[in-house]
Chains A and B, each alone.
Chain A
């Protein structure tokens, strides 16, 4: 009913014929009530000191969360106590006074009961009443704010990313091959790490920005654009003297985004390391070569020393025979006999023994150096098979000396079969060599997988090694009891060297006079 009343006063009766009046009023009332905009009609009272709400449409009811029947006839100041602060009250007064419409820009109304963003258009009716047509922009504003907030958030994240980011559009030649690309967007970090300002970047192509750009960059990006498959790779830009690690993806056809970081420092360290490693390898090779040549060349004079000392023995024997047939005075004969029977044979014996010792040392060095140069073939090693084979080769000497050798089920490992056979042959050979004659010799080989590694143990009940000597046993040519056993002092040095090359380890647990346990670890299968 209030709407009808409002519409009656809203549209001047003078503008319609008398016969159409009722009908027109009904139409306009319906129009007013159902329009999308909020609409309120105020009647000024007390000479414009207050305004009484005369009409309040459905949209306004919804926006202000109040029914029109509750407020028609009431003062605006009573219903909407914050209108002065909001600015509409003053506007209503001004419009009523001047008759000039006022557009009240978007502002926020709140009175504790209701709140929202409103944009009002206020005008005076011919009846002297004032109408306010307005829109409730609250929802739109909320959405806008959300969008703005999210935009700002992403902008912030984008600009403050620790990685460089750039977005590009592919450029193709007449054959459809991507030959260039244009920078569409780039963040601050991209500028920082490339050292290229965005004003020199955005809108330009890479060939303009970096004329010498390596073809591999364009080729890699072209592939991502073509296949749509993301890619991560690392490469070098000579013009910037920098290495970049980039993740590339193509979110939209013909476009691609790059997230990149400057890995020059890491790369240079790595290259430096590689370089150092190459130097070490080269030095090692040189050393091996030197050992080889030295030991080889040192053998030549040894052949002469021994050869000619034998020649000397032959000549000496002839001389001895001659002297035996010669008559000498007693005192002279005594002196000659002393030389012939003691001094000369002793000297020659020392020469020969020293030459033989030196030969054994040189042969040892050659063997070890050869071991370092031998090419390796890593494969799965059937340890059960290998140990059984080694046992077979020791069978004769074991039987002869009353030695018991046992083995448990052994796990497989990865290594060079020939070298691993050498390791266990040496260990078992040592266990036999250093057995304790006061008790029957027992040698046991066991193994297990421990922390992803195959760990084997060669255990004996032999003479054992005192703790203070345990480290020395792996040294080249080191022999604990050179007088009592034969050997070149290389067995364990070779074991250690082989394991080093096969990514394994060897260590010992031992107690003097009780026995030893040699452990070998190798990569497990």
Chain B
């Protein structure tokens, strides 16, 4: 548990409200980890692949990504594809967070290599339950560090 405190949770989510709800509920679930939010697919790619002028990821640090599918500029599936195609980044756990429960899309994301897939339920209790479980998951899962250059 202590080791996982070092994990940074990355949230790529274009909807401000969703992001706020996720952050609030993760915190309520007892997650005190560093949480960084990205507004679209391009921002998260720039962070991970160290492009552009914004903040880049740190060397030898563990990250976990919550990735929305429908986002402006670059969508979540494309982000996932790029991450899983990269020999360093592919070790990072990616949890798809999306509003659709389309079985085809779920299968597609699993094929590309997402580690988990969570449908954002409208039912708030379900949503909180989901985020709680996610918090639990973050606490117990062994997340590998991602090497730098």
Which of A's residues lie within 8 Å of B, judged by CB?
A: 296-297, 299-304, 306-311, 355-356, 359, 366, 370
Inter-subunit contact B15/A306 (CB<8 Å)? no
A-B contact count (CB 8 A): 48
A-B contacts besides A299-B99, A303-B122, A311-B24, 16 pairs, CB < 8 Å: A296-B99, A299-B100, A300-B15, A300-B18, A300-B70, A300-B99, A301-B17, A302-B122, A303-B21, A303-B99, A304-B17, A304-B21, A307-B17, A308-B17, A311-B21, A370-B102
The reply on B124 being an interface residue by CB < 8 A is yes
| Sample (12) of A-B pairs whose CB atoms are under 8 Å apart | A296-B99, A299-B120, A303-B99, A304-B17, A306-B122, A307-B17, A307-B127, A310-B124, A310-B128, A311-B21, A359-B122, A370-B102
Determine which of B17, B70, B100, B102 lies in contact with A303 in the assembled complex, contact meaning CB atoms within 8 Å.
Answer: B17
Chain A residues whose CB sits within 8 angstroms of the CB of B21 once the complex forms:
303-304, 307-308, 311
Decide: A296 near B100, CB < 8 A? Known: A303-B127, A307-B124, A311-B24. Answer: yes
B125 CB to closest chain A CB (Å) equals 8
A92 CB to closest chain B CB (Å) equals 109
Q: What is the total number of residues of chain B having a CB less than 8 Å from a CB of chain A?
A: 15
Docked pose: A307 CA to B15 CA in angstroms: 13
Docked pose: A251 CA to B39 CA in angstroms: 77
Docked pose: A297 CA to B98 CA in angstroms: 11
User: Digit string of B59-82 for contact with A (CB within 8 Å is 1, else 0)?
Assistant: 000000000001000000000000
Inter-subunit contact B18/A296 (CB<8 Å)? no
Which of B's residues lie within 8 Å of A, judged by CB?
A: 15, 17-18, 21, 24, 70, 99-100, 102, 120, 122-124, 127-128
B27 CB to closest chain A CB (Å) equals 13
Inter-subunit contact B18/A304 (CB<8 Å)? yes
Chain B residues whose CB sits within 8 angstroms of the CB of A307 once the complex forms:
17-18, 21, 124, 127
Docked pose: A92 CA to B21 CA in angstroms: 134
A198 CB to closest chain B CB (Å) equals 63
Q: Kindly list the 9 A-B residue pairs having the minimum CB-CB distance in the complex, ordered from nearest.
A: A304-B17, A359-B122, A310-B124, A307-B21, A299-B99, A306-B124, A300-B15, A296-B100, A303-B120
Docked pose: A300 CA to B124 CA in angstroms: 13
Inter-subunit contact A299/B122 (CB<8 Å)? yes
B110 CB to closest chain A CB (Å) equals 18
Docked pose: A307 CA to B124 CA in angstroms: 6
Chain B residues whose CB sits within 8 angstroms of the CB of A301 once the complex forms:
17
Docked pose: A228 CA to B93 CA in angstroms: 69
Chain B residues whose CB sits within 8 angstroms of the CB of A359 once the complex forms:
122
Docked pose: A45 CA to B127 CA in angstroms: 140
Docked pose: A368 CA to B123 CA in angstroms: 21
B127 CB to closest chain A CB (Å) equals 7
Residue of B nearest to A374 (CB): B104
Chain B residues whose CB sits within 8 angstroms of the CB of A356 once the complex forms:
122-123
Chain A residues whose CB sits within 8 angstroms of the CB of B17 once the complex forms:
301, 303-304, 307-308
Docked pose: A304 CA to B17 CA in angstroms: 6
Chain B residues whose CB sits within 8 angstroms of the CB of A366 once the complex forms:
100, 102
Residue of A nearest to B69 (CB): A296
Residue of B nearest to A375 (CB): B104
Chain B residues whose CB sits within 8 angstroms of the CB of A304 once the complex forms:
15, 17-18, 21
Q: Which of A302, A303, A306, A308 has the most CB of B within 10 A?
A: A303
Docked pose: A211 CA to B21 CA in angstroms: 74
Chain A residues whose CB sits within 8 angstroms of the CB of B127 once the complex forms:
303, 307
